[in-house]
Structure 1
Amino acid sequence: MSKPSLAGRRIALTRPAASSADWRTRLEALGAEVVELPLIAVRKDVNLHTLNEVFQEIGGYEWIIFTSVNGVKHFFEEFHRVYDDIRAFGLMRIAVVGEATAAAIREQHLRVELQPKKANAEELAKALIEREGMDSAKVLVVTGNKNRDILVQKLEEVRAIVDILPVYKTEETDLAADPVAGDFRAKGADAILFASPSAAQSFFDQAAALKLAARARRPLAGSIGPSTTATMKQLGLPVDFEAADATLESLVAALLKKL
């Protein structure tokens, strides 16, 4: 029997602690030793006044757009808190960025009408506009505090009426005193995986706390997709490989190919 593809390799993850379990499981199944560096944390952050305004008009939106699993999670927590009947959701059509986000919608027993092949906000805007123009269409974008506004900008350029509902906040964690960060400094890793621009920014901001020892392994740096890659390059971080699609499987495939 051949060894798992990542046997003997140390792989560092930079995802929030609450959402790294499936990544750890996948990498460990391939034989990797996983080092978790939760560079960012995500928490619910909802303005109740804004939420109330949106819910009062919930039946009037033609499209609702989710750009992340966190958006789906925290939106529906609030929706089910206020409404006891899913029919209150109305006849909105649902558009999403990414397969994980689509899966989270399906868990709500709702159907995704539009999901671009490339998992980024710009491609979603393009797909919506190509599908039906969007002139005067009323759209709700469910987002976080650090999502790029390119999606809203593109839709407003074609005269869509866009409301924004932030439901979560992404914050940098402080790893200076974290024992795992100490382990990373001492031993390094064969690769480090970045799944968001926020994680790349936090890694850059905490460079002193994560500075590798002289004999530590220098990791190859992998990116989940174009927006993360752009941030890494802007910060001067190396990008040694990038996922072809913004999925865990695609990033793992790029990692295996690089190693």
Structure 2
Amino acid sequence: MTTLPLEKKTIVLTRNEVKSKEIVEEIVHKGGQAIVLPLIDFRPTQLSNSEIELLSNLEEVNWLVFTSANGVDYFFKIIHKLHIVLHESLNIAVVGTKTKEALHRHGFQPTLLPKEFVAEGLIEVFQQQPIKNKKIIYIRGNLARDLIPKELTSLGAKVHELTVYETFCPTETKELVTLFSNKIDAITFTSPSTVNHFVQLLEGTQWKSWLSGVVVCCIGPITEKAAIRAGLIPTIVPHTYTMNHLIDELISYFQKEGKRV
């Protein structure tokens, strides 16, 4: 009988149930057990009158910039509620395949999509664009980095930041402590916020010893840096910054470790 690649492996996912659904199915399909313990969730922000006015005059805007699927989804909820229609000549830049897919779900194609799924990749692409004096709306969450608006402003663009959602932690310390009473083989972190919430919830406990033998996985270099700063030791950071690629590399890791035994 063929052994499934994740057989007898328990993997903790720190996104919410909805965001984790596809990866849970993949893990189970490959023989593993997935535990969803959300360390991050999102809720809409309240827009100011000036922000609503900005959206009401999108015909004056040259570019929209999205760096997450959440940003796309919350933005479209807002404009639908306000009965605002995007004009076809509006340029849209996105970071990452999941952001692009979210945009597709709302019926739009990105004008720009950098090969590297990080803000730095987008800046590099924009350096080749004539954006001086162009009006750009940067759609973001409350914890997004300031790199994009700063760099685009330095290139001469008129950048307006629009925070459409905020991040919070829906899990309590007791739930996270209970998690470590079980056998865990890997834990995944998908943003600096998931790392920070993990450490904040377990402050004063022996969490570093609890992670002994647990494979720490980070979705990309920004999350990896946050993990290292927090005292974690990441083992898996996929070359392509998606959960599907993270799971693929985790499987490869387990297979190599199995051969060493």
Q: Could you tell me the TM-score, scaled by structure 1's length?
A: 0.90
CA distance in 1, matches of 2:205, 2:36: 13
Match of 1:190 among 182, 185, 189: 185
Other structure's SS at 1:70 match: helix
- Aligned-partner Cα distance in 2 for 1:190–1:146: 29
**In the alignment, does 2:177 pair up with 1:176?**
no
Residue matched to 2:27: 27
Give runs of aligned pairs for residues 161-240 of structure 1, distance below 5 A.
Answer: 161-178=158-175, 181-208=176-203, 211=206, 218-240=213-235
Deviation by residue 1:58-97 (Cα, 9 ceiling, x = unmatched): 111111011111111111011111226x4x4452111111
In the alignment, what sits opposite 2:245?
250
Q: Which moved more, 1:209-218 or 1:116-125?
A: 209-218
Gap change, CA 1:40 and 1:166, over 3 Å in 2: same
The answer as to whether partners of 2:173 and 2:202 remain within 8 angstroms in 1 is no
CA contact (8 A) 2:219 2:246 kept: yes
Distance 1:127 1:71 in 2: 20
Shift of 1:211: 4.7
Q: 2:110 aligns with which of 94, 112, 119?
A: 112
Q: Matches of residues 12-51 of structure 1 in structure 2 within 5 Å?
A: 12-51=12-51
How far off is 1:176 after superposition?
1.9
Query: 1: CA distance between counterparts of 2:153 and 2:211?
Result: 49
Q: Indicate conservation of the 8 Å contact 1:62/1:137, yes or no.
A: yes
User: What amino acid sits opposite 1:42 in the alignment?
Assistant: F
Which amino acid is the alignment partner of residue 237 of structure 2? E
Query: d(CA) in 2 for partners of 1:118 and 1:73?
Result: 22
Match of 2:57 in 1: 57
Structure 1, unmatched stretches of 5+, are: none
Q: AA paired with 1:184?
A: L
After TM superposition, give the deviation of residue 145 of structure 1 in Å: 0.2
Q: Runs of 4 or more off by more than 4 Å in structure 1?
A: 208-217
The residue type paired with residue 9 of structure 2 is R
Is this contact kept in 2: 1:229–1:242, CA < 8 A?
A: yes
Q: Which residue of 1 aligns with 2:149?
A: 152
> 3-state SS of the aligned residue for 1:242?
coil
Number of aligned residue pairs: 254
Query: Per-residue deviation at 1:18?
Result: 3.4
Equivalent AA in structure 2 for residue 117 of structure 1: K
43 and 58 in structure 1: CA distance in 2 versus 1, 3 angstrom threshold: same
In 1: Cα distance, 2:210 partner to 2:146 partner: 42
Instruction: Name the aligned partner's letter for residue 57 of structure 2.
Output: E
For structure 2, the 5+ residue unaligned runs are: 255-261
Instruction: Please give the alpha-carbon distance, in whole angstroms, between the structure 2 residues aligned to 1:195 and 1:31.
Output: 22
1:15-71, Cα deviation, whole Å (9 max, x unpaired):
133322112112111111111121112111132424312213211111101111111
**Structure-2 residue corresponding to 1:10:** 10
Report if aligned partners of 2:180, 2:210 keep a CA contact under 8 Å in 1: no
- Partner deviation per Cα, 1:187-244 (whole Å, 9 max, x = no partner): 2411111111110111111224875698887311011111111111111211111011
For the structure 1 residues 188 and 153, does the alpha-carbon distance in structure 2 shift closer, same or farther, using more than 3 Å as the test? farther
SS in 2 for 1:170: strand
String of CA shifts for 1:138-196, please: whole Å, max 9, x gaps: 11111100001111111111111100110100012342233xx3542202411111111
* 1:106-137 CA-partner distances (Å, limit 9, x unpaired): 1111111111111111111211112x142212
